Amino acid sequence: MKIGVLALQGAFIEHEAMLRRLGVEVVEVRLPQDLDDVNGVIIPGGESTTIGKLAVRYNLMEPLRELARSGKPLWGTCAGMIFMAKAVEGEGRDQPLLGLMDVRVQRNAFGRQVDSFEANLNIKGVDGDKPFHAIFIRAPLIESVGAGVDVLARVEKDNQDVIVAARQGNLLATSFHPELSYDDRFHRYFLKMAESET
């Protein structure tokens, strides 16, 4: 099993550390050839506009789309979720998007850095009886989903339950940062997706 982690900007080292603890071979993806022979790719949190612009500069946009079309899983966390979305609220910014996942995302939906928070979530499909302790940092949320998108988790915001994790076939997205938790269950969930494609 070999998992690529997009290593252009953001929290890629934390994902790598979690994967290595699980005994997985990790490849830092910076150029198209780094995608050769990977079983899946994680797109980390960071700054979504910067990640998108660097992906354009290093000719990674179409190779990442092709990887997803081939059935291999892609998982975007926080900024990675924004980068994978088909639509983002406030698209006036120069924001390159992969446009893969049929979701509409609202960036920084929970406020600024000082508004970061943690919450215990029940996540559909994730093993275990205890809730997943999720860490939200300048987090986006999913405003709406298209047909074929399975909502995996919600959190309360302004007295409403909003979507913070979803899956569409081989595409996975989370508003929060599982790589910052000691809980490896979400990474194990992604690895099961990758195993099903090998």
Find the Cα–Cα–Cα–Cα dihedral 148, 153, 155, 161, rounded to 10°.
40
Confirm whether 16 is a catalytic residue.
no
Catalytic residue among 15, 16, 177, 187: 177
Confirm whether 78 is a catalytic residue.
yes
- The CA distance from 57 to 78, in Å, is 21
**Residues 106-138 as b or e (16 or more Cβ within 10 Å = b):** bbbbbeeeeeeeebebebeebeeeeebebbbbb
Catalytic residue among 14, 15, 78, 187: 78
Confirm whether 89 is a catalytic residue.
no
Catalytic residue among 179, 187, 195, 197: 179
User: Where is 104: in which H helix or E strand?
Assistant: strand 101-106
At 81, the amino acid letter reads: M
Q: Residue 103: helix, strand or coil by DSSP?
A: strand
Catalytic residues: 78, 177, 179
